[in-house]
């Protein structure tokens, strides 16, 4: 009974969970110290991400609601190939969530550049389609250059210091 409920309302439950997470994220971003030095302070991007995540969770809830209604009307659903793809997708979603938690936990210790490079490298392999050929060299170059360029822009042009970490102090 519970398994059927979770299967039927999985998309809706994911939307509700992400919505609650984004609400908590927005609540936490309200405690970021405001700055009068620059027009866009350190609170701008976290709030933007929080509202965007909240918007996406509302879309997910709508999609989940429609999916649940469709599965109720079509009681005899088959679980052939779509069941295997759904298991892989669920595993990847969990792995991405773990990668995000690891990234947030290590950004102060390792610094923005190193933790972002590791995060982008892992994320590239988790989010790439399974039937595509992955080129590790391109991924490594992308994962290293993007955090360095981002750090340079934030540090030199926006006067926002990102965590340097133990290796760059």
Cβ count near 137 (within 10 Å): 7
Q: Are 124 and 139 in contact (CB under 8 A)?
A: yes
Q: Are 152 and 162 in contact (CB under 8 A)?
A: no
Q: How much is the pLDDT for 144?
A: 94
Q: How much is the pLDDT for 126?
A: 85
CA angle 10, 14, 19 (to 5 degrees): 150
Model confidence pTM above 0.75: no
Q: Judge whether residue 146 has pLDDT over 90.
A: yes
Cβ count near 113 (within 10 Å): 22
* pLDDT grade for 165, boundaries at 50, 70 and 90: confident
Burial class (CB in 10 A: 0-12, 13-18, 19+), 21: middle
Quick: pLDDT tens for 81-130.
Answer: 455 556 666 788 888 889 999 998 898 899 999 999 999 999 988 888 77
Q: Which residue has the higher pLDDT, 159 or 141?
A: 141
d(C-alpha 37, C-alpha 9), whole Å? 47
Domain boundaries, the chain: 1-77, 79-169
Number of residues in the chain: 169
Supply the DSSP symbol for 150: H
């Amino acid at each position: 009974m519970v398994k059927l409920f979770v299967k039927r309302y999985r998309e809706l439950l994911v939307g509700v969970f992400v919505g609650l997470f984004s609400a908590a994220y927005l609540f936490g971003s309200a405690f970021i110290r405001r700055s009068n030095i620059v027009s866009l302070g350190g609170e701008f991007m976290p709030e933007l991400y929080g509202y965007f995540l909240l918007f996406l969770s509302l879309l997910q809830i709508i999609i989940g609601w429609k999916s649940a209604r469709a599965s109720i009307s079509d009681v005899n659903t088959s679980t052939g190939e779509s069941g295997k793809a759904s298991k892989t997708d669920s595993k990847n979603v969990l792995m991405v969530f773990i990668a995000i938690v690891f990234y947030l936990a290590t950004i102060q210790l390792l610094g923005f550049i190193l933790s972002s490079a590791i995060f982008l490298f892992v994320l590239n392999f988790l989010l790439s389609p399974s039937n595509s050929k992955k080129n590790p060299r391109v991924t490594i170059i992308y994962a290293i250059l993007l955090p360095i360029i981002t750090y340079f822009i934030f540090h030199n042009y926006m006067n926002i210091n990102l965590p340097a970490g133990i290796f760059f102090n």
